[in-house]
Structure 1
Amino acid sequence: MDNKTLQKLINWTREGKTYRCYQLNQWRGKNGIRNQALARDRYECQDCAKLGKYSKAVEVHHIKELKTHPHLFLNLDNVVCLCKECHNKRHDRDQRGGSKKIKKFENIERW
């Protein structure tokens, strides 16, 4: 990855615009990292494969996340292909993609 691209990733991450990183041609393009990873993993969820099951991989997960490791965003060794269910498990989300964390009240009064 060149320095210009890395600087874009860092700036977008700081600005809270991480969605822009996933629009890069180096990620999403025909020969992008996402498609390379899917081909490498034979479009199979790697977490399910470890359990002896087959599930089609529809998502590509960054092992070391973009927010903390932007320099690894376009590194093929930093991604793994997963089905939606396994991707949600890795991020501790429910099946709809929302957070599983229980919201606490800020104070005792709720009225």
Structure 2
Amino acid sequence: QYTHKYNTVTRYRNEDKRQQYNFYRTRQWSHLRQQVLERDHYLCAYCKAQGIITPAKTVDHIVPIEFDEALKANVDNLAVICSKCHRLKTDWEQVTYGTGQGNE
């Protein structure tokens, strides 16, 4: 039920968000994601930069789509990220870029 509420109320709260997240359902995203996972050997790029090896399966936009949509399909703007780093990065993006809930 939480996932349903998140997807129908929070994630798709307006048309821009709906279009933004539809990108993640495309074949293009699927190919880009796989390319980045293989390039980064399924290891978190942020942990690796600190000398820590952490397996991960999430591919993240370094510069968020909300900030610069032109970079959404740029493989150089994508990195593998673990859940811990992703939470920290999301919090940082909200402060730095004004992305996420509130979307200032």
TM range (shorter): 0.5 to 0.7
TM-score computed with the length of structure 1 as normaliser? 0.64
Tell me if structure 2 keeps the 8 A contact 1:58–1:84: no
Displacement of 1:68 after TM fit? 2.2
Alignment correspondent of 1:104? none
Alignment correspondent of 2:24? 22
- Matched-pair identity in %: 32
CA RMSD of aligned residues (A): 1.8
Alignment correspondent of 1:78? 77
**Greater share of helix residues, 1 or 2?**
2
Q: Given residue 24 of structure 1, which amino acid in structure 2 is its aligned partner?
A: T
Q: Given residue 25 of structure 1, which amino acid in structure 2 is its aligned partner?
A: R
Q: Provide structure 2 residue ranges, at least 5 long, that are not aligned to the other structure.
A: 1-13, 93-104
Displacement of 1:14 after TM fit? 5.2
| Number of positions where the alignment pairs a residue of Structure 1 with one of Structure 2 | 78
- The structure number with the bigger radius of gyration is 1
Q: Given residue 78 of structure 1, which amino acid in structure 2 is its aligned partner?
A: N
Distance in 1, Cα, partners of 2:70 & 2:49 = 28
Counterpart of 1:66 in 2: which secondary structure?
coil
